[in-house]
Amino acid sequence: MTMHQIELSGVNKYYGAYHALRDIDLKIRKGSFVALVGPSGCGKSTLLRSLAGLESISAGDLVIAGARMNGVPPRKRDLAMVFQSYALYPHMTVEENLTYSLRMRGVGKAEARRKAQEVAATTGLSNLLGRYPRELSGGQRQRVAMSRAIIRNPKAFLFDEPLSNLDAALRVHMRKEIRALHDRLGATSVYVTHDQIEAMTMADHVVVMRQGVIEQQGAPLELYDRPANQFVAGFIGSPAMNFVPAQVGADGRSVVLDLGTPHIVALTKSVEARRTLIVGIRPEHLQLASEMDTALRLPVGNVESTGAATYVTTATQPELIIVLNNRVSIRRGETLPLHLDPTHLHLFDKETQIRLV
Amino acid sequence: MRRLLLSIRDGRGFDIGLVSVPLAFLFAMAGLPLIYNIVMSFQEVDMFSLGTFARPFVGFRNYATLFSLPETWPILGNTAIFVVASIAGQFTIGFALALFFWTGFPGSSWLRGLFLVSWVMPGLVVGAIWNWILSGDFGVLNYILRESGLVSGNIFWRSDPDFSLWAVVIANIWLGISFNMILLSVGLSAIPQDLYEAAELDGANVMQRFYTITLPMMRSTIGAIIALGLIFTLQQFDLFAAITAGGPNNSSNVAQYWAWDMSFRQYDFAQGATISVIMIVFVMIASVVYVRSTRHEVRG
């Protein structure tokens, strides 16, 4: 029962007539790292703020460490939050920022100072304790915000897009650092981001949201390999999955892709014959084939090389993106023989966009 | 000269050109009268020497005379009471109102705007209205105090030496509340909301948030408003003219009213100038506080 640190059941949130969160059910295991991900306006930040108590939920139950927390004010929930803006207290030094929560709880000065030094040592802030936030760089402020959360030893950490104000290189670095910190502290973390790469690389459990609804949740690779619907399939993975309208053949064992011209691909499982659907193909699942054994010959549109990989866009309608993990000399206008492993095909219903089988 | 003109034409001296215009204006309109006033406080001035600048220099004799007058210390004391009580009243009520409207109940910004009405009213009009409110026999204030049982008999606010100064203080507090409230409201709305959210999650209750976030974040605004309050109360003249005229027997007289009385009613321009110079010193101190507090804007 207490295995779950945070439990949400049937949570709904309205802003007037606007339905911001719809029937959210979410169980967060103690010690796990959960990412809430989705496009802006999907409700992920609202959900996080509801956990923190900064927003009240209109219906449903919120249980933290076994206690119902619906009407409990934020200061009594014992959760620490790292804000996107960092929200450091500008009139306090780094040390005062770190010890603020301790002082509010009446911890003694010497004890607070000792703890601040302890935390600062682990986050590399030891020689910045006397500085004011305005005297720090973006990365250092980020560390202060993290340290301020760590020092409290809270029931859970809440992160609200904490890396979006950092430059790309620092973001990749901090990603690892936050995850390492999480593992070292054995903490429970809820991490909001719009960046699916962040969610995939950091989290144990990814929750994909859209328009206030949880579209799918699960382990990162589970979401990648078996997306529940076309939205999740398109949202997770970069470059995004290719979607091709298609029709199942008369035998139910093959599918005809409509790429401007018809292309027949075999299926591993039988599907209702003549059914129209959407076929999803991840860019890395189309690979170069030898001339003989291929069914798929596609004209090349654009070729981009990053050095490590080659991105090929086909001159078809709709166009497909193919990632080749080697250097190949391909030119626009050539015809490319491609191999498509049928086990990697994703089939979605054309109307409901829900995954088939 | 040619180089100076050239520097203006090529744009490098243009900024100096721009700054020099308001500086010249300030010097002519504020600097010169100030200097003239200081000079006059060291001279012997009478009705006949008023038109000339070359008057006999008397050193600190005007100051010595001033401080030998029996009313000087009581009037300076009155000034101090007037300033401290006015600022304290204006600031506390103004801050309380600013916090009240900051909670953002429906119609709060509209109501806050209405408070500015007191600010657009001329001091003499405010004085006249307060005369009615404070009136000893039929005044509303006396009526309220009497009916609520706080006093047994009427208080003659304007003619009782124990109350006359406070009559002006009450009117001045009313006049200054809206200015304090508006400036403090601006300061409050400049505090980022996420600081309060962070503090709330850090376990701070309402009072702790007020003392650890609101007050320190408002430090520069509070410094500025108290300095401005000092300047505005030291130049408050209309209310004295309208309500008590400094009486009875100087019991509500203050330095700024006294300086005017000396210069323009008793035609003792040297004494009037001397009182003004003493006031300038206090205003200067207030200005330094004001400049320092507005320079120290904090935001990381």
- Chain A positions touching B219 (Cβ under 8 A) are 91
Which of A74, A89, A141 is nearest residue B213 as measured by Cβ atoms? A89
Best residue of A56, A83, A157 to probe chain B, by most B CBs closer than 10 Å: A83
Residue of B nearest to A53 (CA): B201
> Mean of the pLDDT values across residues B148-155?
85
**3-class DSSP assignment, residue A61:** strand
Strand bridging mode A310-314 / A321-324: antiparallel
Backbone angles phi, psi at A202, to 5 degrees: -100, -35
Residues A42-64 pLDDT 10s: 999 999 999 999 999 999 999 99
A137 contacts chain B (CB < 8 A): no
Best residue of B193, B194, B196, B201 to probe chain A, by most A CBs closer than 10 Å: B201
Strand bridging mode A254-259 / A242-248: antiparallel
Put simply, the answer to whether B200 touches A134 (Cβ < 8 Å) is no
Put simply, the answer to whether B300 touches A105 (Cβ < 8 Å) is no
Contacting residues for A233 by C-beta, under 8 A, at least 6 apart: A227, A241, A243, A280, A346, A348, A355
Q: Which domains does chain A have, with CATH numbers?
A: 4-235 (3.40.50.300), 242-349 (2.40.50.140)
357 residues of chain A, pLDDT tens digit each: 457 889 999 999 999 889 999 999 999 999 999 999 999 989 999 999 999 999 999 999 999 988 899 989 999 999 999 999 999 999 999 999 999 999 998 899 999 999 999 999 988 899 999 999 999 998 899 999 999 999 988 999 999 999 988 888 889 999 998 999 999 988 899 999 999 999 999 999 999 999 999 999 999 999 999 999 999 999 999 899 999 999 998 888 889 999 988 888 888 888 888 899 999 999 999 988 877 666 688 899 999 998 889 999 999 989 999 999 888 888 888 888 888 888 899 999 999 999 987
CATH of domain B69-295: 1.10.3720.10
- Chain B positions touching A81 (Cβ under 8 A) are 197-198, 201
Put simply, the answer to whether A90 touches B298 (Cβ < 8 Å) is yes
Put simply, the answer to whether B194 touches A90 (Cβ < 8 Å) is no
Residues B25-46 pLDDT 10s: 999 999 999 999 999 899 888 8
- For residue A88, how many other CB atoms are within 10 A of its CB? 24
**3-class DSSP assignment, residue A14:** strand
Best residue of B191, B202, B207, B298 to probe chain A, by most A CBs closer than 10 Å: B202
Which of A75, A81, A85 is nearest residue B204 as measured by Cβ atoms? A75
A79 contacts chain B (CB < 8 A): yes
Which of A53, A100, A133 is nearest residue B202 as measured by Cβ atoms? A100
- Chain B positions touching A54 (Cβ under 8 A) are 197, 200-201
Q: Does residue A59 contact residue A12 with C-beta atoms inside 8 Å? A: yes
**Minimal C-alpha gap between B282 and chain A (Å):** 30
- Domain extents for chain B? 1-31, 69-295
pLDDT at position B299 is 43
Put simply, the answer to whether A75 touches B197 (Cβ < 8 Å) is no
Which of B203, B205, B216 is nearest residue A101 as measured by Cβ atoms? B203
Q: How far apart are CA A236 and CA A245, in angstroms?
A: 20
> Mean of the pLDDT values across residues B64-93?
92
Residues B226-278 pLDDT 10s: 888 988 899 889 999 898 888 788 888 999 999 999 888 888 888 899 999 99
Residue of B nearest to A131 (CA): B300
**3-class DSSP assignment, residue A10:** strand
- Chain B positions touching A77 (Cβ under 8 A) are 201
Put simply, the answer to whether A74 touches B201 (Cβ < 8 Å) is yes
Contacting residues for A11 by C-beta, under 8 A, at least 6 apart: A21, A23, A24, A25, A26, A47, A50, A57, A59, A60, A61, A62
pLDDT at position B115 is 83
- For residue A272, how many other CB atoms are within 10 A of its CB? 9
Put simply, the answer to whether A85 touches B192 (Cβ < 8 Å) is yes
**Minimal C-alpha gap between B208 and chain A (Å):** 7
pLDDT at position A234 is 94
A81 contacts chain B (CB < 8 A): yes
Put simply, the answer to whether B195 touches A89 (Cβ < 8 Å) is yes
Residue of A nearest to B211 (CA): A104
Angle B269-295/B61-68 helices, nearest 10 degrees? 90
- What is the residue-wise DSSP string for A243-293? EEEEEE-TTSSEEEEEESEEEEEE-SS---TT-EEEEEE-GGGEEE--STT
Is the four-CA dihedral A201, A202, A203, A206 of positive or negative sign? negative
Put simply, the answer to whether A54 touches B219 (Cβ < 8 Å) is no
pLDDT at position B297 is 53
pLDDT, mean over chain B = 87
Q: How far apart are CA B103 and CA A50, in angstroms?
A: 21
- What is the residue-wise DSSP string for A294-314? -SEEEEEEEEEE-SS-EEEEE
- What is the residue-wise DSSP string for A188-226? -EEEEES-HHHHHHH-SEEEEEETTEEEEEE-HHHHHHS
More confident residue, B235 or B298: B235
Which of A74, A79, A132 is nearest residue B300 as measured by Cβ atoms? A132
A152 contacts chain B (CB < 8 A): yes
- Chain B positions touching A152 (Cβ under 8 A) are 202
Q: At B4, is the pLDDT very low, low, confident or very high (cuts 50, 70, 90)? A: low
More confident residue, B89 or B160: B89
Q: At B293, is the pLDDT very low, low, confident or very high (cuts 50, 70, 90)? A: confident
**Chain B residues bordering chain A (beta-carbon distance below 8 Å):** 192, 194-195, 197-205, 208, 212-213, 216-217, 219, 298-300
A187 contacts chain B (CB < 8 A): no
**Minimal C-alpha gap between A79 and chain B (Å):** 7
Q: Is the N-terminal amide bond of A337 cis, ω within 30° of 0?
A: no
Give this prediction's pTM: 0.81
Q: Is the pLDDT of residue B113 over 80?
A: yes
Put simply, the answer to whether B217 touches A90 (Cβ < 8 Å) is yes
- What is the residue-wise DSSP string for A317-334? SS--EEEESS-----TT-
pLDDT at position B198 is 94
HEC-encoded secondary structure of B89-153: HHHHHHHHHHHHHHCCCCCHHHHHHHCCHHHHCCHHHHHHHHHHHHCCCCCHHHHHHHHCCCCCC
The interface residues of chain A toward chain B in range 40-69, judged by CB-CB distance below 8 A, are 52-54
Residue of A nearest to B194 (CA): A87
**Minimal C-alpha gap between A136 and chain B (Å):** 9
- For residue B265, how many other CB atoms are within 10 A of its CB? 9
Residues A119-145 pLDDT 10s: 999 888 999 999 999 999 988 999 999
